[in-house]
Amino acid sequence: MRMPQRRRGGGLLGGRFMIIIIGLVGLFIYWQMNQTEVPFSGRKQLNTMSLQDEVRLGQQSYFQILNQEQEQGHQVLCASEGECLGAERTLTEGVRTIGKRLQAAAIELEAELEAQGFAFTPVADQFDWTYYVVDSATPNAFCLPGGYVAVYTGILDITGNGDGQVTLEDVSDPDKLAVVMGHEIGHALAHHGAERMSQQKVMQMGQIAVGAGLGDMDVSQQRAIMQAFGVAAQGTVLKFSRAHETEADKIGLDLLVRACYDPREAPQLWERMGKLNEGQSPPEWMSTHPASETRAANFREWMPEAIAQYESRCGPLK
């Protein structure tokens, strides 16, 4: 006879927390049910998006970003193929040549993982690989879902000779630029964008569940609880974004080796990028790519295997 009494004794507070708990348990189950394995690392990720939606969204935002850059006076090189000449053409073709080698490497890597029995859908041969160079001083590069790659001229000098200006010489030695592009392509192959969006969706639903449960609670109490929820959500996202960087580094290194670009350039380039930012607030692109001890340690761990692979495929490294 005691049980029902105790339940009723929970009163308003019990009812509220019941809503929160049911909501969060539901979300946890939803989270668990939408886990897929990332074959490149063995990590499980949340992905509630179809490949079609991912590619469609990638394409949409790609052309949106390129249009915005144009509107801000940052020319998209070779945007109209008829006028693709001279330096414009050399820079664009430099990027496209690296891209094509890396995309072939991606197709090969996925086929190999599939042959090894990993349950996943290869995407590299379904991507709509597109490459453009944006004439902008911002050091930036990205590969959106679907294989939509943009390289900003601001990064070409950093991956080139570092003399402070973008010249054709900067794309004459492609190994460093391949490091950046391989890493960015790694993010797309591992569906990091879709994972982030799926996580945001779940966090928003969690916020709604918590918000509904708080009901007519004291406003300052409500705020404190929502803040705690926000901090926890942010911490989770940060943890995942670090995992994403490590995964993109690992995939990028594998692509470099398969495409016969010098893998030793990878840790050197990230260190160089890190040094460029010392003493000043890093540009947004770098702040999402933290040059950390962990990163250097990862590369030290991966490098012997990468060098061995490179040499068996491409010949001895100089």
Count of residues near Zn ion by CB under 5 A: 3
Neighbours of 260 (CB within 10 A): 15
Please identify, using beta-carbon distances, which residue of 89 and 196 lies nearer to Zn ion.
196
Q: Give me the least distance between CB of 240 and Zn ion, in Å please.
A: 12
Q: How far is the CB of 183 from Zn ion (least distance, A)?
A: 6
Closer residue to Zn ion (CB): 170 or 247: 247
133 binds Zn ion (CB under 5 A): no
Of residues 135 through 164, those in contact with Zn ion by CB under 5 A are none
Closest CB to Zn ion among residues 69, 245:
245
> Going residue by residue from 251 to 290, which x/- string records binding to Zn ion, judged by CB under 5 A?
--------------------------------------x-
Residues 289-308 that bind Zn ion (CB under 5 A): 289
Nearer to Zn ion, 55 or 185 (CB): 185
CB of 10 to Zn ion, least distance (A): 47
Give the shortest CB-79-to-Zn ion separation in angstroms.
26
**Residues 232-251 interacting with Zn ion (rule: CB under 5 A):** 245, 248
**Residue 247 CB, nearest approach to Zn ion (Å):** 9
The site for Zn ion (CB under 5 A) is made up of 245, 248, 289
